[in-house]
Amino acid sequence: MQTLYQCDVSVIVPVYNLERWITPLLESLKAQDLGPYTAEFIFVLNNCTDRSEAVIRDSGISCKILNCPEQGCGLARNMGFENSSGEYIWFVDGDDFIISDTAIRDLLDRMKADSLDIIRIPFLSNGFGWYYFSMVWQYMFRRDFIEEFRFRKEQPGEDDAYMLWVLWKAGYDQMTFGTMPNIGRALYFYNYPREGSNMDRYCRGENINE
């Protein structure tokens, strides 16, 4: 039985206290020229204690906002996925942003034309100069290909196990992931390091699982 999708792509964004950081992403999503495609933007609030939700709503973006009661961006991503309806999935971090106004359209063009299950997305960064296999935002997936996988609760490293499983299924590993099909130019900006991020808090000795 063929799955019936309500849109072409679901962009899923976990949000934890991003009031100061999420506006560039919101603006880059609103600016997307989707061409013939449709997209849904899903923001999953993960025990926010700031004005993140208000910033999202005040931006005017058409989106779905969910609340994940348990701490952890992996669990927030899982909730977003389970409440999504796109044929393709892109997990995006709320403190980053999309560089190209045609990024989503170009990725879908390539994935549909070549019948791809997964595509790698080149990126730029202000402080990160090398590729690492488990940064989940650097891939777009065909939904059915990742249906069996979920992120673990514990942080950090929730991306590692997830992407090892996905890459294995796709025929890659942490050494060969860079050889998979990609769009040929940077479409994403990775904001690293960012004060208050999970990695920043973890490196300062905080328990980020509470």
* pLDDT at residue number 201: 46
Per-residue pLDDT tens listing for the chain (210 residues): 346 799 999 999 999 999 999 999 999 999 999 999 999 999 999 999 999 999 999 999 999 999 999 888 999 999 999 999 999 999 999 999 999 999 999 999 999 999 999 999 999 998 877 778 999 999 999 999 999 999 998 866 789 999 999 999 999 999 999 999 999 999 999 998 556 555 544 444 455 455
- The pLDDT value given to residue 193: 58
Predicted confidence at residue 18, as pLDDT, reads 96
In a domain, 70, yes or no: yes
194 three-class SS: coil
Residue 11: exposure state from Cβ atoms within 10 A (0-12, 13-18, ≥19): buried
Q: Has residue 60 been placed in a domain? A: yes
Number of domains in the chain: 1
pLDDT of residue 144: 97
pTM of the predicted protein model:
0.90
In a domain, 185, yes or no: yes
| Domain presence at residue 45 | yes
Tell which residue, 43, 46, 35, has the closest CA to residue 12.
43
Is residue 210 in a domain? no
Which residues have C-beta within 8 Å of that of residue 4, sequence separation ≥ 6?
none
Residue 209 lies in a domain: no
Domain ranges, residue 25: 7-203
Task: Output phi, psi for 99, to 5 deg.
Answer: -80, -45
Q: Note whether residue 171 is domain-resident.
A: yes
Domain for residue 208, yes or no?
Answer: no
Which pLDDT score is estimated for 71?
A: 85
The CATH number of the domain holding residue 92 is 3.90.550.10
Q: Give me the residue label for tokens 């990775």.
A: 190
